[in-house]
């Protein structure tokens, strides 16, 4: 192992220690958290929309059986339409 590789390894170790001390997750853990957060958010919105549809049906109003949702496309759609 060369000197610069050893120094790089030491810097990486120090970076991980700082992350742990500051309460920051590692990049691998942060990716997992983001993945699960997105899943939970989609599940929450699906449940909220189903609740809204059930409430409208209970009041005798027509409620859509299917919905199309696209997240993260707002800026693209605005640029495309204008």
Render pLDDT for 20-68 as a digit per residue (tens, 0 to 9).
Answer: 777 778 888 889 999 999 999 999 988 998 999 999 999 999 887 777 7
Domain assignment present for residue 20? The answer is no
Please check whether residue 12 lies inside any domain of the structure: no
**Model pLDDT, residue 76:** 57
* Structural domain total, the chain: 1
* pLDDT, position 43: 92
Q: What confidence score (pLDDT) does residue 41 get?
A: 92
Instruction: Identify the domain containing residue 58 by its residue range.
Output: 26-81
Q: Please tell me the predicted confidence (pLDDT) of residue 36.
A: 94
Task: Let me know if residue 19 belongs to a domain.
Answer: no
Decide if 6 is inside a domain. no
Residue 73 lies in a domain: yes
CB 62 within 8 A of CB 56: yes
Alpha-carbon gap, residue 7 to 13, rounded angstroms: 10
């Amino acid at each position: 192992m060369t000197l610069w590789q050893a120094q790089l390894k030491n810097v990486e170790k120090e970076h991980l220690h700082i992350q742990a001390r500051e309460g920051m997750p590692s990049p691998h853990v942060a990716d997992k958290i983001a993945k699960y957060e997105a899943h939970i958010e989609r599940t929450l919105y699906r449940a909220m929309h189903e609740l809204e549809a059930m409430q409208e049906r209970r009041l005798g109003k027509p409620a859509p059986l299917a919905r199309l949702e696209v997240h993260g496309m707002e800026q693209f759609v605005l640029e495309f339409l204008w």
